[in-house]
A and B are shown apart, each in its own frame.
Chain A
């Protein structure tokens, strides 16, 4: 599983590079978007899922990296499996960098307590990423795809380290609320 994922990522990287070479002139001319300053510290770093109430959506121990796709002005989530992971990445998260999120600039970073409190009046002013239709696990209804709404709030710890708190299907659709906390992998 791990090897397969790595191969997938490499292929994605190569295809992106090839696309960049082929479209080089256009890319230069089009002046690609740059990531927002508020988001920069979260890009390119590998995070680990530290706790998850939704293990079948996002497994504890799983690794994920956020990269900025300047061509489409979106953030892509690239995952990999680790040996300590509680379950495999599934559906869109198992596809190499298959999940895209849009960044919304708020006025400040949320705290973990802001997310835990769940007051949308407060959360609406926080920097965040959101994807509205992502498949995270096989549907319980045969023959259908279950799509989730996911909001990732950028959170800084007291020591200033970037972390992230993710809400799945809360708040938008009021289905099974759940919270996932991701932190940086390894010492930083």
Chain B
């Protein structure tokens, strides 16, 4: 009989750190409730990482049941757990303890946790005993795809026979990027090429599938890891080595990078919203089809963005669970005092769950933190924009941005490295908002503002429409900066813009 793990399944609740003032609060629970219940139910059955992840995500289904009943037991992936030390402890002794068990095949140590990959043959009661040992404070499965995926839908191949904008010659006027007229989103958000040309560079970490550093529209803006070394033999290390700048992996990161910071007035393709941005590629997606990498890799990616000095972290990805590893990385990046140094922008990723209720994914749910903005994808139809009567609520964290029919840079070079992303969705909306943040923050005198002032300003000067629910991101107000002293301090600039 396996040792009872002792937990009961809790109903879905707000993220832990939203309930506890922006900090992850440790409780007596040693694992997410659904995972604990799964462990309790196992008896002598072997731990199945896929089933544990699906139960944690609340997506366990007949498909997982049939996979679990598969007699080919060798196909069950090894238990891979993120293990946190007990309160007051640190990862050193925990690392040693896990290695001594004899059941751990591979172990990686980070500042906050240890990732342990167990042998396939570890008996469940032994696994539970290890989890219950005094050195261990909390565990969560180190899940990855296919249950954890990037936000974009794949889009059907373009069938229109007209000449694509990227196949046309340069425009005769400034800026000469031939796709500029097709970028409906730029027009919708009040983008101005003069403002964009004058803006100073801001560092945007693109946590995605890498950025093709050889792409003509991106090459000048891509920067390599500055300080943060990848842990040797870690998944993040391998993925970054292969995909960060090579352009040989899934194109999603390159697509986002072009919208944020594609070069302007170079006679080809698109112009990004903030074309002078510095783009830091950090890979959190596996090579094929954009399946997300492990939770521990995402957490390490957020840490790397901080260490490398990113001021904006763009995560155009979603996952279904409230992970402590990621929560703590996000708190370190944009929680507390850090929320004045940088912003995390993600897509407002939602779905119709099995019971037809609307589910909001992570990291969008972390918009309870002042350092997080969730971009709501919207299409180009109608939506006459006007100035709101009152000031929109920035604490809600949701703001609308273009998310359909976006011309993007891509690594698929059959069409000169561009494509029309029809169903870009929350991914592109996030990229638009990241670009808008970088543009505003790089526009003197707003470059002297902190991240929270920039966020407040973008919500304050957002627009409304009668047909949509949330405020629209809009940067038209940046033209007014031409009338201000570029050396003015931020409060004076905000007052002049009516947002103090």
Contact = CB atoms under 8 A, between A and B. Distances in A.
B252 to A, nearest CB: 12
A130 B353 CA distance: 11
A52 interface: yes
A143 B71 contact: yes
B352 interface: yes
Interface string A160-186: 000000010011111111110100000
Interface in A96-126: 104, 111, 113-121, 123-124
Contacts of B378: 117, 119
A106 B149 CA distance: 28
A174 B404 contact: no
A53 B155 contact: yes
Interface stretch (B22-30, B62-70, B172-180, B328-336): B62-70
12 contacts: A104-B356, A116-B153, A116-B405, A116-B422, A117-B378, A117-B404, A118-B153, A119-B425, A124-B356, A141-B67, A170-B351, A174-B361
B147 interface: yes
A117 B379 contact: yes
Contacts of B422: 116
Interface in B62-105: 62-63, 66-67, 69-72, 75
Contacts of A159: none
Interface in B94-122: none
B377 A118 contact: yes
Contacts of B149: 174-177
B348 interface: yes
Contacts of A143: 70-72
A143 B72 CA distance: 8
B382 to A, nearest CB: 10
A117 B351 contact: no
Contacts of A132: 61, 354
Nearest to B421: A116
A124 B358 contact: yes
Nearest to B149: A174
Contact of B156 (A52, A133, A145, A175): A52
Nearest to B66: A144
B358 A120 contact: yes
Nearest to B361: A174
A118 B353 CA distance: 13
Interface of B: 57, 59, 61-63, 66-67, 69-72, 75, 146-149, 151-157, 159, 289, 318-320, 348, 350-354, 356, 358-359, 361, 376-381, 403-405, 422-423, 425-426, 469
Nearest to B57: A174
Contacts of A173: 59, 61, 63, 147, 354
A147 interface: yes
A117 B379 CA distance: 7
A53 B153 CA distance: 9
What 8 pairs across the A-B complex have the smallest Cβ distances?
Answer: A171-B351, A51-B156, A120-B350, A113-B379, A116-B423, A53-B154, A118-B425, A147-B63
A168 to B, nearest CB: 10
B352 A179 contact: no
A173 B379 CA distance: 24
Given A133-B62, A144-B66, A172 B154 contact: no
Given A113-B381, A142-B72, A174 B320 contact: yes
B28 to A, nearest CB: 30
Given A145-B66, A149-B354, A177-B153, A171 B146 contact: no
Contacts of A145: 63, 66
Nearest to A147: B63
Given A117-B378, A177-B149, A53 B469 contact: no
Contacts of A120: 350-352, 358-359
A138 B351 CA distance: 25
Contacts of B147: 173-175
A171 B156 contact: no
A159 to B, nearest CB: 16
Contact of A121 (B354, B423, B469): B469
Given A117-B377, A118-B423, A171 B352 contact: yes
Contacts of A113: 379-381, 404-405
Nearest to B148: A174
Given A141-B70, A179-B155, A116 B425 contact: yes
Nearest to B59: A173
Contacts of A154: none
A67 interface: no
A146 interface: yes
A115 B377 CA distance: 11
Given A124-B356, A124-B358, A170 B153 contact: yes
B202 to A, nearest CB: 27
Interface string A134-153: 00000001111111010100
Given A51-B159, A116-B422, A119-B376, A178 B154 contact: yes
Contacts of A133: 61-63
A63 to B, nearest CB: 18
Contacts of B320: 174
A181 B156 contact: yes
Nearest to B351: A171
Nearest to A123: B352
A89 B412 CA distance: 29
Contacts of A144: 63, 66-67, 69-70
A116 B358 contact: no
Given A124-B358, A142-B72, A178-B153, A116 B148 contact: no
